[in-house]
Amino acid sequence: MTPNESVRYSAVVLGGGDPGDAFAAAHGVTVKPLIPLNGQPMTLYVLHALRDSGRVARIAYVGPTTPEIDALIDTRVTDHGSLLGNLEAGVEALEAGGIRQGERVLVVTADIPMLVADEVRDVLDSASTEAALVYPVVRREVCEAAYPGVKRTYARLKDGSFTGGNLFILDPALIGQFLPRLREVLDARKAPLKLAGLIGPGIFFKLLTGRLTVEALEAKVSSILGVQARALITPHAAVGTDVDKDEDLTLAGAYLKQTGKS
């Protein structure tokens, strides 16, 4: 057993969503994670991947559920209407049930149905146990090789082009320390001038021109959040491939049938 394997994880699964989501409504459900994929809610694939990984002790699920979902989770948490609100509520629910010293929390969105148990294990076993926040990223060529024709948003860095993962790992003991600053970063992500002011014009210019390295970005994010943050370059395309539209749903359904995971 490696040191990382000895660390027990709990998970927060973000299964909420906008009640007015047209994508969900078009498929006859209230929120996106409940959209049927090959006959079952897409979130079930994520929950099975977590349970089958052998690394996750407890699951707090934020959002509406079905009896099938309830059978795979430990705690259901009411949707608080925002990403960070749901994250905070999910971690609080886990803490209310008792978190061991050194236990870490895996936060996963419920819309990455191609994720499998082996990939969950590898991400958790590869993650730094020293950082307060670990954020997996996936290279563009990895995504496009795994899922030809997939469309994702990529950031061009000096080390390559990356898409962000739909899961991350955090130290629950430090969440109160970095959450307010993380909220500022997320609020600024679609406002270039605000983002430039937050990360500094030099870093912002390097980001725009593709000259920023992963290491430099880690250092800047760590400085902003006041805790150690690390990127984890993962070879698992499923981590960076969520289902946001019908063509994603079609791709996921075909892939799962092809690989025998439907």
The answer to whether residue 1 is domain-embedded is no
The answer to whether residue 67 is domain-embedded is yes
pLDDT of the residue at 179? 85
What residues make up the domain containing 162?
8-258
The answer to whether residue 159 is domain-embedded is yes
Kindly report the CATH number assigned to the domain that includes residue 55.
Answer: 3.90.550.10
46-90 pLDDT, tens per residue?
A: 999 999 999 999 999 999 999 999 999 999 999 998 888 999 999
The answer to whether residue 2 is domain-embedded is no
Query: Would strands 56-62 and 75-77 be described as parallel, antiparallel, or unpaired?
Result: parallel
The answer to whether residue 37 is domain-embedded is yes
186-203 pLDDT, tens per residue?
A: 777 667 677 778 788 888
The answer to whether residue 3 is domain-embedded is no
Structural domain count, the chain: 1
5-35 pLDDT, tens per residue?
A: 555 899 999 999 887 899 999 999 999 999 9
The answer to whether residue 243 is domain-embedded is yes
Average pLDDT, rounded, for the chain: 91
Alpha helices by DSSP H, the chain:
22-26, 43-53, 67-70, 83-96, 117-126, 140-146, 175-188, 192-199, 201-208, 214-225, 246-258
167, pLDDT greater than 80? yes
pLDDT of the residue at 1? 42
**Measured distance CA(55)–CA(7) in Å, rounded:** 8
The answer to whether residue 21 is domain-embedded is yes
